[in-house]
Amino acid sequence: MLQNNQQTVSNIANIDHIKKINYATIYKVIETHAPISRVKIAQVSKLAPASVTKITRKLLENGIITEIARQTSTGGRPAISIALNSASIHVLAIKIGRNLLSISRYNLSGEQLSNKQVNIELANGEQLIEQIISEIALAINTEKPLGEKISAISITLAGLINPKQGRIIYSSRYSFNNFPLVEIIEQQFNIPTFIGNHTRCLALAEHYFGASQDCADSILISVHHGVGSGIIIHGKCLLGENCHIGEIGHIQVNPAGKKCHCGNFGCLETEVSDNVILEKVKNAINDGNFTTLIYETLTVEDIYKAAANNDPLCRKVVEDAANYLGKTVAILINLLNPEKIIIAGKITESKGTLFSTIQQCITHQTLPEFQNKLTILPTKLQPNSTVAAFALIKQAIYEGNLLQEIHI
Ligand SMILES: [Zn+2]
């Protein structure tokens, strides 16, 4: 009996999974080929015409697609084609930064309809959640002229995130431990909500809308206060069962280096992050090294610009960081054989120095075969923007997880 019950549950799960895949397939065919007829959708998707009729009827009822009458070439009855109704479906994409909370409204065409940034006054996790809830409520209530309905919410932040459970497993900045953020937001607003690690989602955003649109396998490496990566294989972000693939910031690159917050010594993060670069240049100035910069007003942006302009001290510090980054990039290339490496962060301002040093590491430390079709370039999108959170919603649609829940 138990076995039969288990089998029934497993069959239902399979049917649900297939349904999601079919919805997503039809959505993607319409997105790529619109305006397109139902007959053509069936041909391209290789789904049975009856399934296409059923799913398109549901998508039409829910306002996700729309019918367009098109004149036939023979001048007979207009043929009915289908297109997406993306401009009418609105979502909220949120980024929790170190000091700033960014909240944007997008439509599903990818247009940003509003954008607001507020300071995060308090570093306490509970108060931050109150602030997020109040900003979401404000966005929903004050932006009604833009559209009444919000169909999904997504949130990205740094730290260990479990998107499947909707939980922040660990965030050093806001002291979250196994925190059920998605459940709290969904209870409050009754809107499907998603969370993800910001860097992983930025890699996905570059794949959907930016620098890696034209390839299936890419790795984005982000250098800010921390260092992390997002790995895209076959167009999907690699997360793994535990959800944390890509924490390259804690690869040991200098055994004699400083202690990291993870407990290890000389992690990539303790050698190349923005605050470390600033500290290294300040220490070098204190030790009497020559630079064109002024110590008192020094920012990390000044350092990266000065490195690009051949300031000897800044160039040396960026070169050292680029060597550590380059070694890690070379390991990733040997391990994963990507088509593109994308670097995100202010450090990309020091262009020549950064990229030529990383390129040297690639040339000397990776398989020559792997270098032939490899490109390394800076991010195309604004690394700090809410576009990463928007990509998370796109992913939910492409995987069929959201399509049956949108009704406008
Ligand atoms: Zn570490």
Give tens-digit pLDDT for 197-221.
999 999 999 999 999 999 999 999 9
**CA 199 to ligand 1 centroid distance, Å:** 17
pLDDT at residue 123, rounded to an integer? 63
Residue 2 has pLDDT above 80, yes or no: no
**CA 231 to ligand 1 centroid distance, Å:** 19
Q: Calculate the CA 385 to chain-centre distance.
A: 10
- DSSP, collapsed to helix, strand or coil, labels residue 375 as strand
**Which residues surround the ion ligand 1 when the cut-off is CB under 5 Å?**
250, 260, 262, 264, 267
pLDDT tens per residue, range 311-333: 999 999 999 999 999 999 999 99
* 24, 280, 349 from 308: Cα distances, Å: 45, 17, 7
Residues in the chain, overall count: 408
**CA 86 to ligand 1 centroid distance, Å:** 42
- If you average pLDDT over residues 343-361, what whole number do you get? 95
Q: Within a 13 Å sphere around the CA of 337, how many CA atoms are in the beta-carbon half?
A: 6
d(CA 236, CA 399): 10
* 50, 119, 185, 282, 334 from 272: Cα distances, Å: 56, 26, 35, 15, 21
pLDDT at residue 78, rounded to an integer? 73
Tell me the domains of the chain and their CATH numbers. Answer: 2-84 (1.10.10.10), 88-202+386-398 (3.30.420.40), 213-378 (3.30.420.40)
**CA 299 to ligand 1 centroid distance, Å:** 24
Query: For the chain, what is the radius of gyration of the CA atoms?
Result: 24
- DSSP, collapsed to helix, strand or coil, labels residue 278 as helix
**Confidence category of residue 374, pLDDT binned at 50, 70, 90:** very high
- DSSP, collapsed to helix, strand or coil, labels residue 328 as helix
Contact 155, 96 (CB under 8 A): yes
**CA 22 to ligand 1 centroid distance, Å:** 42
Contact 36, 81 (CB under 8 A): yes
Question: Of all helices (H) and strands (E), which one includes residue 177?
Answer: strand 176-179
- DSSP, collapsed to helix, strand or coil, labels residue 124 as coil
Residue 75 has pLDDT above 70, yes or no: no
d(CA 318, CA 350): 8
Question: Of all helices (H) and strands (E), which one includes residue 349?
Answer: none
Question: Of all helices (H) and strands (E), which one includes residue 310?
Answer: none
Least confident of 6-10, 108-112, 258-262: 6-10
Q: How many helices (H) and strands (E) does the chain have?
A: 13, 15
- If you average pLDDT over residues 76-93, what whole number do you get? 90
Q: Which of 397, 344, 30 is nearest to 210 (CA)?
A: 344
Percentage of the residues of the chain whose pLDDT score is greater than 90: 81
**CA 270 to ligand 1 centroid distance, Å:** 7
**CA 226 to ligand 1 centroid distance, Å:** 10
**CA 351 to ligand 1 centroid distance, Å:** 26
Residue 35: asked if its preceding bond is cis (omega within 30°), the reply is: yes
**CA 3 to ligand 1 centroid distance, Å:** 46
Question: Of all helices (H) and strands (E), which one includes residue 130?
Answer: helix 125-142
**CA 258 to ligand 1 centroid distance, Å:** 10
Higher pLDDT, 223 or 125: 223
pLDDT tens per residue, range 222-257: 999 999 999 999 999 999 999 999 999 999 999 999
Q: Give the single-character DSSP code of 78.
A: P
**CA 16 to ligand 1 centroid distance, Å:** 41
- If you average pLDDT over residues 296-314, what whole number do you get? 94
pLDDT at residue 94, rounded to an integer? 98
Q: 85 Cβ partners below 8 Å, 6+ apart?
A: 63, 64, 65, 66, 408
Amino acid at 53: T
Q: What share of the chain is helix, strand, coil (3-state, %, to 5)?
A: 45, 20, 30
- DSSP, collapsed to helix, strand or coil, labels residue 211 as coil
Residue 77 has pLDDT above 90, yes or no: no
pLDDT at residue 174, rounded to an integer? 83
Residue 383 has pLDDT above 90, yes or no: no
Residue 357 has pLDDT above 80, yes or no: yes
Name the average pLDDT for the chain: 93
